[in-house]
Structure 1
């Protein structure tokens, strides 16, 4: 379903690419003009000098999270299941509050460059090594490889762009400013990309709503249950209890413990900027249900009312159907730029996190006295190598069917041990390093066994087992909890002053700091975000 681009659209796309590349490289050039050490100082390169403020933290978190498959996949989900998949976006706000209140203080106070480093301070080196390996692998295989191939497929399907050329162009442009500029370049380009993403999605949503004419027209021409966020197990593969029990398992791993996401928080100017920036991204995560999912549902009403004289052959073409039929020249180019922004922001964030993880968690371990200038050089080389490997991986998986569902299934299985180790680490002083590493090892093994079972049960004649969406993560979390508790009592350890300082003495302790005065107070913003989420759930 190719969408024709005219000269205005092409100009917008080219201008977008030039602006992003120029902005990304500017911070490298400016450092030398001002004779700063930002590009030769490791903290300046990997953590933006620890000077990031809340607006860019929030926008950058949002942009890194949103990939092309979000925009296309959520529109498709809206067409097929109504607002149901909006739960993934709304529940992010709850998990982000957990990040801001319970995790951020320890991350900022310990001034770690990586989250595996935090685990070593709380537990031991074995836990750090395991998580570092998983983080690097997931960043290359999922965050970059998956984003590249799905983004290229979408751009080819919508605009006729060659897939191979798209992958190479995206990775070269993104790699250029990421490798040169470090985290500072990443977060500021992502801030602009977040704005473009939101504007492009709003353009589609407004165009669809204006074509419908009113909310009543939408409601009267769809299945009434399509507007329900929470559904029973009998009527949905993703029932209400899976939303509230299953999502936090993958959500805490993703938003609170994944280096690719949390790195911009680690570069915050101080604890308050980190907290408020994270919560700001939580407010932004209220938008996707309305600007990504809802337009897909509007397509159902547009077709049923005959307001669009066109045929949607496959649900995966829902977004392109909207763009082709509703957006005028110029806005079509903006939407193409938004799709490019979604891919580039995901790739840049992952490249930067890989270079940080390898440099601090692996290279510096064996050469602890390496000077800062060399660490930056190692980080750049690592990002370049990761870029090449990711491109090769994207070519290897290109053309495979069902890759998105495959990746989601993998995330559900790998996240439980990571989530539970971090949670026990900050909330339970008796959690031991022995329990931590064995929970990571055995929990990961359990996830692998479940994955293998789902793909071989027919071969060996095993009974089919298909729990509701995300519930496998809940069951694995229970297993990891048992391992963590039993092994901590089996082999307890004497906590050091450092490890004790990284565990909350009581649940409300993180709420004791007063924070900023006025509406920028993290407590006020957290309550406001929870109320906004509750209101949406009450309405829908």
Structure 2
């Protein structure tokens, strides 16, 4: 249980964020009354690169990451840091190849882009899958992780605390639109990073530095916990080749083709801001390994040294490491700073939920409501979006008990993504890079690929000891992607593409075409930043190989 000072800090933070969100959203919409729907859903396309980068990071990082990456650090060491560092490569793809298309086509949603490149059927399917995935992946998992933390710290019922926080988040998100989301996410990113750095320093200080941690790992024959590149047959089920083959399938969908993430890019002021924003986020993504995953590894060595009491986490089958982050907060930090960490956790929860709700409302309005009511006014679109966001929040709360059955929330989240992403990644990649990718092939790839993903997911859960059940989810994502590629290429030759005047402009003629744009001069040039980010990531992977 935390003390009154920390509770006060947490409550004041929540009130402050809600107030700022409402104020910024309402002020922006009053100032820009031209297109009410555009102002609400895309912030009037006025976002600059720093806010885009910070908002991308804040939407990505939630309570799931703070809690589960620490849990993974405790259980398997730095291994799951691959999900953070590999994201930099897909953010480079977003900046170089995808963002220019999205800005040039003037779309409000990614399903809208698929209709322009393929057909209406592809748009409809992606809209449905995107809304469902946002509810499960971006909201329900975040609420679950937040509920676990709030229950441990405050002793209140998990569902009661989450309902209160989510309703407050929904208040400023539904009222203020994307402007409120991005402004609050920028603040929350700073708070979240500050809190994570505080707990990292506290764990480092309690351990006595890096070398004492290494000494403990050597004593317990656990030096592999410092390696991110594991050999074939590693018990984690994530050897190095699974990372390089499987992650791009998950990452391209998540960072380049998921509305919840890419909506920040769609609201960019121009192409350069849309490109530099994701690259800025790529540099920020270096931090989570050191401030989210590494503290969990420190917690493991601290517990082995008797410097961290994990007796409250012991069960009949071992240690339930889901609560390790909360344990670190209460045992490693003094009063006052605990409140800052709780604020950081709430930042992760609120930013994830707010971003997902705004994206759901955008897709529900533009891709679903407007489909059946093509003459709908801006006011009607905004109302439909608000109602959709409210319904999505209720459904997410209902899913929490089901998702809580996963032993590791982070692995559970990525397990679901691995079965959703392959067909979407396939149709976006081939649509952007291959002239012959046809509308019929995209439609069948989305339908068949999604059905395969659902069937295999169900088989894994009902019959985990089958051959399919023994395939790690990263490799399963790669295999499903290969099947989807085969499906789309085959159907593209069976049903040749018939380009419209619009779709004929929505693919790159050569891989070098998107690089012809000169970009800004100086250090903020997108080509220069891409090269620097690639070099930095190469060095980091070599150091922690």
Q: Is TM more than 0.5 here?
A: yes
Per the alignment, in what secondary structure is the counterpart of residue 528 of structure 2? helix
Instruction: Tell me by how many angstroms 1:406 deviates.
Output: 4.1
Q: Which range moved further: 174-183 or 404-413? A: 404-413
Pick aligned residue for 2:376 from 364, 370, 374 = 370
Within 5 Å, give how 1:210-225 maps onto structure 2: 210-222=205-217, 223-225=222-224
Assess, with a 3 A threshold, how the Cα gap between structure 1 residues 161 and 535 changes in structure 2: closer, same or farther. Answer: farther
Match of 1:11 in 2: 8
CA distance in 2, matches of 1:348, 1:249: 26
Checking the alignment, whether the CA contact within 8 Å between 1:427 and 1:504 is kept in structure 2 is: yes
Match of 1:444 in 2: 450
Pick aligned residue for 1:413 from 392, 411, 419 = 419
Q: Which range moved further: 364-373 or 302-311? A: 302-311
Instruction: Tell me by how many angstroms 1:457 deviates.
Output: 3.6
Assess, with a 3 A threshold, how the Cα gap between structure 1 residues 56 and 464 changes in structure 2: closer, same or farther. Answer: closer
TM-score (norm 1): 0.95
Pick aligned residue for 1:521 from 499, 521, 525 = 525
Q: Deviations over 1:241-294 (max 9, x none)?
A: 011110000110111000011101100000111111111111111111000110
Instruction: Tell me by how many angstroms 1:531 deviates.
Output: 1.2
Q: Deviations over 1:332-359 (max 9, x none)?
A: 0011111111111111111111110011
Pick aligned residue for 2:385 from 360, 363, 379 = 379
Assess, with a 3 A threshold, how the Cα gap between structure 1 residues 363 and 322 changes in structure 2: closer, same or farther. Answer: same
Unaligned ranges ≥5, structure 1: none
Assess, with a 3 A threshold, how the Cα gap between structure 1 residues 463 and 53 changes in structure 2: closer, same or farther. Answer: closer
CA distance in 2, matches of 1:211, 1:35: 51
Match of 2:192 in 1: 197
Per the alignment, in what secondary structure is the counterpart of residue 33 of structure 2? coil
Match of 1:76 in 2: 71
CA distance in 1, matches of 2:399, 2:458: 21
Checking the alignment, whether the CA contact within 8 Å between 1:239 and 1:468 is kept in structure 2 is: no
Match of 2:125 in 1: 130
CA distance in 2, matches of 1:310, 1:411: 31
Within 5 Å, give how 1:19-418 maps onto structure 2: 19-31=16-28, 35-37=31-33, 41-222=36-217, 223-236=222-235, 237-308=237-308, 311=311, 313=314, 314=319, 315-394=321-400, 397=402, 400-402=405-407, 404=409, 405-418=411-424
CA distance in 2, matches of 1:65, 1:331: 24
Per the alignment, in what secondary structure is the counterpart of residue 470 of structure 1? helix
Checking the alignment, whether the CA contact within 8 Å between 2:431 and 2:437 is kept in structure 1 is: yes
Assess, with a 3 A threshold, how the Cα gap between structure 1 residues 183 and 29 changes in structure 2: closer, same or farther. Answer: closer
CA distance in 2, matches of 1:399, 1:525: 40
TM-score (norm 2): 0.94
Per the alignment, in what secondary structure is the counterpart of residue 470 of structure 2? coil
Instruction: Tell me by how many angstroms 1:29 deviates.
Output: 3.6
Per the alignment, in what secondary structure is the counterpart of residue 113 of structure 1? coil
Unaligned ranges ≥5, structure 2: none
CA distance in 2, matches of 1:466, 1:393: 26
Checking the alignment, whether the CA contact within 8 Å between 2:459 and 2:469 is kept in structure 1 is: no
Q: Deviations over 1:73-105 (max 9, x none)?
A: 111111111111110100000111111111000
Match of 1:433 in 2: 439
Instruction: Tell me by how many angstroms 1:497 deviates.
Output: 2.5
Checking the alignment, whether the CA contact within 8 Å between 2:406 and 2:412 is kept in structure 1 is: no
Assess, with a 3 A threshold, how the Cα gap between structure 1 residues 338 and 462 changes in structure 2: closer, same or farther. Answer: closer
RMSD between superposed Cα atoms in Å: 1.8
CA distance in 2, matches of 1:449, 1:41: 42
Instruction: Tell me by how many angstroms 1:239 deviates.
Output: 0.4
Instruction: Tell me by how many angstroms 1:425 deviates.
Output: 0.2
Pick aligned residue for 2:514 from 510, 514, 519 = 510
Q: Which range moved further: 152-161 or 525-534? A: 152-161
Checking the alignment, whether the CA contact within 8 Å between 2:18 and 2:172 is kept in structure 1 is: yes
CA distance in 2, matches of 1:444, 1:483: 12
Match of 2:505 in 1: 501
Per the alignment, in what secondary structure is the counterpart of residue 60 of structure 1? helix
Per the alignment, in what secondary structure is the counterpart of residue 85 of structure 1? helix
CA distance in 2, matches of 1:31, 1:215: 47
Per the alignment, in what secondary structure is the counterpart of residue 323 of structure 1? helix
Q: Which range moved further: 280-289 or 307-316? A: 307-316
Instruction: Tell me by how many angstroms 1:42 deviates.
Output: 0.7
Q: Deviations over 1:451-487 (max 9, x none)?
A: 23223447xx955641234000111111111111110
CA distance in 1, matches of 2:306, 2:31: 63
